[in-house]
């Protein structure tokens, strides 16, 4: 028999009654769902933060090649021209010794000891340098190798790149490890949530065994018999999803200033506020899916 609007409302009503009857069982079921969904949304948030962190660091990464003090401006220009011809290079900026000294003085304008030390030296202690930006982060290693093997390598004193690349590599490895770990924990908890919800629905079915038998005898369809239990599972998911949103958003607003102090471009509070509708649908949809899947398995 095809479900009508009236029949659907009746199924929802009976599902709600079942939910209220089993409120003591529902508490544990919803608790497991909340934990599962919290880890899930936490994983989403972590993924956003890690991506932004890596992107922010990658923007700051470049190669700084310090030239020996006896390198002339003409020699430096020749190196710049050769590097600019490489397709991997985004730009090359030559910083002369004089420009480096002026920048150093500006940075330490309020430090009298530093200014006094420069006066006592009587000469410019800084080296000229080349600031080299590649089109992609993956191209830096090959560029460093090219510079080290080039004809002008004898004019290069040192290359400052390896520290930045190591930091990015470590962050990527940590993020990848935590992401995989988070996915595994989410999957395990999802399985537990399905099993707990399954058992809760099975207990409900067992407690209503006589009622179900009577419904079968009077010719009730499978939709009328099984539908309320599916609705009950969906209600567990809806309540768990709402609880997660109530917990998650205050936490986001709490940690957002701390995250922003570390990553200025990452405003978590603003980001998740702008995507509140999508996050709400994602969390509620995931909760309902957990509940419905568990219920469908239980009533088969």
Domain 62-160 classified CATH 1.10.1510.10?
Answer: no
Residue 48 burial (10 A CB sphere; 0-12, 13-18, 19+) = middle
Q: Note the residue count of the chain.
A: 300
Q: How far apart are CA 91 and CA 135, in angstroms?
A: 9
Contacts of 261 (CB under 8 A, 6+ apart): none
More confident residue, 84 or 47: 84
pTM above 0.85, yes or no: no
Q: How far apart are CA 10 and CA 12, in angstroms?
A: 5
Reply yes or no on whether the pLDDT at 112 is more than 70.
Answer: yes
Looking at 24-28, 63-67, 125-129, which range is the least confident one?
A: 24-28
Mean pLDDT over all residues of the chain?
80
Q: What is the pLDDT of residues 6-62, one digit of tens each?
A: 667 777 777 787 777 777 777 888 888 888 888 888 888 887 877 777 777 767 777
Highest mean pLDDT among 169-178, 201-210, 288-297: 288-297
> If you ran DSSP here, which 8-state letter would residue 73 be given?
H
What was the pLDDT predicted at 4?
A: 62
SS3 218: coil
Mean per-residue pLDDT for 229-235?
Answer: 84
| Tokens found for residue 81 | 């021209």
Q: How far apart are CA 123 and CA 33, in angstroms?
A: 69
SS3 111: coil
| Tokens found for residue 300 | 């088969």
What was the pLDDT predicted at 2?
A: 54
Confidence class for position 208, pLDDT limits 50, 70, 90: low
Confidence class for position 164, pLDDT limits 50, 70, 90: low
Q: What is the pLDDT of residues 172-193, one digit of tens each?
A: 677 677 778 778 877 887 788 7
Phi then psi dihedrals of residue 231, to 5 deg: -60, -40
> Domain boundaries in the chain?
5-58+168-299, 62-160
Left (φ > 0), alpha (ψ -120 to 50) or beta: where does 298 sit? alpha
């Amino acid at each position: 028999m095809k479900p009508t609007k009236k029949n659907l409302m009746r199924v929802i009503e009976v599902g709600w009654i079942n939910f209220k009857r089993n409120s003591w069982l529902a508490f544990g079921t919803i608790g497991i769902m909340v934990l599962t969904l919290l880890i899930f949304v936490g994983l989403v948030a972590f993924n956003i933060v890690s991506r932004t962190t890596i992107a922010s660091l990658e923007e700051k990464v470049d190669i700084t090649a310090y030239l020996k003090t006896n390198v002339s401006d003409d020699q430096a220009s020749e190196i710049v021209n050769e590097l600019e011809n490489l397709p991997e290079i985004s730009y090359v900026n030559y910083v002369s010794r004089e420009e480096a000294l002026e920048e150093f003085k500006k940075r330490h304008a309020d430090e009298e000891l530093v200014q006094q030390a420069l006066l006592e030296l009587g000469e410019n202690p800084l080296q000229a340098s080349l600031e080299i930006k590649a089109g992609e982060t993956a191209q830096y290693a090959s560029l460093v190798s090219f510079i080290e093997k080039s004809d002008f390598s004898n004019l290069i004193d040192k290359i400052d790149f390896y520290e930045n690349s190591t930091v990015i590599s470590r962050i990527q490895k940590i993020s990848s490890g935590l992401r995989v770990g988070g996915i595994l924990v989410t999957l395990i908890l999802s399985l537990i949530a399905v099993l707990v919800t399954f058992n809760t629905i099975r207990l409900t079915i067992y407690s209503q065994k006589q009622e179900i038998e009577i419904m079968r005898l009077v010719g009730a369809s499978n939709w009328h018999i099984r539908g309320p239990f599916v609705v009950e599972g969906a209600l567990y998911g809806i309540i768990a999803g709402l609880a997660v949103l109530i917990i998650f958003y205050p936490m986001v607003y709490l940690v957002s200033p701390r995250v922003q102090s570390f990553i200025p471009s990452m405003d978590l509070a603003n980001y998740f506020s702008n995507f509140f509708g999508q996050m709400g649908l994602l969390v509620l949809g995931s909760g309902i899916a957990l509940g419905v899947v568990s219920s469908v398995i239980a009533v088969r």
